[in-house]
Amino acid sequence: MNASPITTWEGAEAYFTFADSPTAMMVILALAVAATVGAVVASVLHENHTYIDYK
């Protein structure tokens, strides 16, 4: 997979992976948001399960 937005460093500005592909950036961003939200949701579920023994 070619993730580089540049073919030369001469005159390069934003050079991070997929900087020239808004779609790819959006997909990666959405996955990162989902992972963050998912971790909080997982924490809620973990606690709900854990507290069963302590109700």
Partner 1 sequence: MEQTAPTLAELQTLIEMTGTINMEVFYWWCTGLMVIIHAGFLAYEMGASRLKNALASGVKNILAFAFIIPTFFFFGWWIYLAMYNGFTPDYEAAAAGLPWSTNMGPNLADNASGIFWGAFVLFAATTASIFSGAVIERIRMSSFLILAIILGSVVWILGASWGWHPTGWLTVEWGFHDFGAAGAVHMVAGFFALGVTINLGARLGRFAPDGTPIEIKGHSMPMTIIGLMLIIVGFFGFLGGCIIYAGSAQWTTIFGTPVTLSAVSFNTLMAFSGGIIGAYFVTRQPFWMMSGALAGIFSAAPGLDLYYPPLAFLLGITGGVVAPLADKFITNKFKIDDAVGAFAVHGVGGLIGIIGLGIFSGFPNVIEGAPAISFMGQLKSAGVMALLGFVPGFGLSYVMAKMNFLRVPPKAEEMGLDIVEVPLQAYPESVPAYSSEIPATKVTATASA
Distance CA 31, CA 24 (A): 11
Task: Say how many residues make up the chain.
Answer: 55
Tell me which residues in 1-55 interact with partner 1 (CB under 8 A). Answer: 12-16, 19, 22, 25-26, 29, 32-33, 36, 39-40, 43-44, 46-47, 50-51, 53-55
Number of residues that bind partner 1 (CB under 8 A): 24
Q: Are 21 and 35 in contact (CB under 8 A)?
A: no
For 19, the enclosing helix (H) or strand (E) is: none
Chain residues binding partner 1 by CB under 8 A are: 12-16, 19, 22, 25-26, 29, 32-33, 36, 39-40, 43-44, 46-47, 50-51, 53-55
